[in-house]
Chain A
Amino acid sequence: MSVVGTSVARKDGIGKATGAAKYADDLSIPGMLFGRTVRSTIPCGRVKRIRYDFDTTGFTIVDRRDIPLDGRNVVALIEDDQPFLVERDVRHVAEPIVLLAHADREKLLAADVIIEYEVEPPVFDPEASTESLKTLTIDKGHLDAGFAQADVIVEGTYRTGHQEHVYIEPNGVIAVPEDGGIAIFGSIQCPFYVVKALKSLLGPKAHVRVVQTETGGGFGGKEEYPSMIAGHATLLALKAGLPVKIVYDRTEDMIATTKRHPSIVRHRTGVKRDGTLVAMDVEVILDGGAYITLSPVVLSRGCIHAAGPYRCDNVRIRGRAMLTNTPPNGAFRGFGAPQTIFAIEAHMDRIAEALGVDPVTIRERNALVPGDTTATGQRLTADCSALPVLREAVERTDFRRKREALRGTNRGIGLSLFYHGSGFTGSGELRLASKAALELTDHGVRILVSSTEIGQGTRTMHAQIVAETLGIPYEDVDVAQPDTTLVPDSGPTVASRTCMVVGRILQRCAEDLKRRLGDLTPAEYYRAHGPFTIVREHEPPGWIQWDDETYTGDAYATYAWGCDVVEVELDADTCEVRPLHLTAVQEVGKAIHPALARGQIEGGSAQGIGYAIVEHVAMRDGVMANASLTNYTIPTTLDTPAMDIVLLENPYEDGPFGAKGLGELPMDGPAPAVINALRHLGVDLSEIPATPERVMSACGSR
Chain B
Amino acid sequence: MRLTLNGAVTDVEAAPGRRLLDVLREECGLTGTKEGCGEGECGACTVLMNGQLVVSCLVPFAQAEGAEIRTIEGVGDHALQQHFMSEAGAQCGICTPGMVMTASTLSRDATLEDIRIALAGNLCRCTGYEAIYRAIQRARAATSA
Contact = CB atoms under 8 A, between A and B. Distances in A.
Interface stretch (A22-30, A293-301, A340-348): A22-30
B101 to A, nearest CB: 9
A456 interface: yes
B47 to A, nearest CB: 11
A637 B92 contact: no
A638 B116 contact: yes
Interface string A196-215: 00000000000000000011
A455 B94 CA distance: 9
A599 B127 contact: yes
Secondary structure of the A contact surface, majority rule:
loop
Contacts of A9: 85-86
A14 B86 CA distance: 10
Contacts of B126: 217, 455, 599, 603
Contacts of B35: 25
Which of A14, A16, A28 has the most B CB atoms < 10 Å from its CB?
Answer: A16
A26 B31 contact: yes
A20 B125 contact: no
Nearest first, the 6 A-B pairs at minimum CB distance are A19-B32, A216-B94, A16-B93, A455-B92, A606-B128, A13-B85
Interface string B92-117: 11111100100000000000000111
B61 interface: no
B88 A10 contact: yes
A628 interface: yes
Nearest to B93: A16
Contacts of B81: 17-18
A599 B120 contact: no
Interface of B: 25-26, 30-39, 41-42, 44, 71-73, 81-82, 84-97, 100, 115-117, 119-131
Contacts of B73: 18-19
Contacts of B97: 19
Given A10-B90, A169-B34, A638-B117, A599 B131 contact: yes
A7 interface: yes
B72 A595 contact: no
Contacts of B128: 602-607, 635, 640, 643
Contacts of A603: 91, 125-128
A525 B49 CA distance: 54
A219 B94 CA distance: 14
A22 B29 CA distance: 12
A634 B72 contact: no
Given A23-B34, A216-B93, A250 B127 contact: no
Contact of A168 (B44, B84, B120): B44
A98 interface: no
A15 interface: yes
A628 B25 CA distance: 22
Given A216-B93, A603-B125, A630-B41, A168 B85 contact: no
A454 B120 CA distance: 24
Nearest to A453: B92
Interface in A11-55: 12-23, 25-26, 28
A574 interface: no
A249 interface: yes
Given A10-B85, A168-B125, A602-B128, 12 more contacts: A16-B85, A16-B96, A17-B81, A167-B125, A168-B42, A216-B94, A595-B88, A595-B131, A628-B39, A628-B41, A636-B123, A637-B129
A456 B90 contact: no
Contacts of B42: 168, 629
Given A168-B44, A602-B128, A603-B128, A638 B88 contact: no
Contacts of A250: 36-39
23 contacts: A10-B90, A15-B93, A18-B72, A18-B81, A19-B32, A19-B73, A19-B96, A166-B123, A217-B92, A250-B38, A457-B91, A599-B91, A602-B128, A602-B129, A602-B131, A606-B128, A606-B129, A629-B39, A635-B128, A637-B115, A637-B117, A643-B128, A643-B130
Contacts of B116: 637-638
Contacts of A101: none
A21 B93 contact: yes
A530 to B, nearest CB: 35
Nearest to A27: B31
Contacts of A168: 34, 36, 42, 44, 92, 94-95, 123-125
Interface in A559-615: 595-596, 598-599, 602-607
A454 B92 contact: yes
Contacts of B131: 595, 598-599, 602
Interface of A: 7, 9-10, 12-23, 25-26, 28, 165-170, 214-219, 249-250, 454-457, 595-596, 598-599, 602-607, 628-630, 634-638, 640, 643, 645
Nearest to A454: B92
B91 A17 contact: no
Give the one of B26, B82, B126 with max A CB within 10 A.
B126
Given A215-B92, A455-B93, A602 B125 contact: no
A13 B91 CA distance: 8
Contacts of A12: 90, 93
A20 B32 contact: yes
A17 B98 CA distance: 10
Nearest to A165: B125
Contact of B82 (A17, A22, A637, A638): A17
Given A602-B131, A628-B37, A640-B128, A456 B91 contact: yes
Contacts of A219: 125
B93 to A, nearest CB: 3
Contacts of A640: 128-129
Nearest to A584: B128
Contact of A634 (B84, B123, B127): B123
Nearest to A641: B128
Contacts of B127: 599, 602-603, 606
B123 A216 contact: no
A638 B72 contact: no
A26 B94 CA distance: 11
A167 B92 contact: yes
A105 B129 CA distance: 35
A455 B120 contact: no
A640 B130 CA distance: 9
A640 B123 CA distance: 11
Contacts of A218: 92
Contacts of A607: 125, 128
Contacts of A16: 84-85, 90, 92-93, 96
B82 A19 contact: no
Interface centre among A7, A21, A28, A638 (most CB of B within 10 A): A21
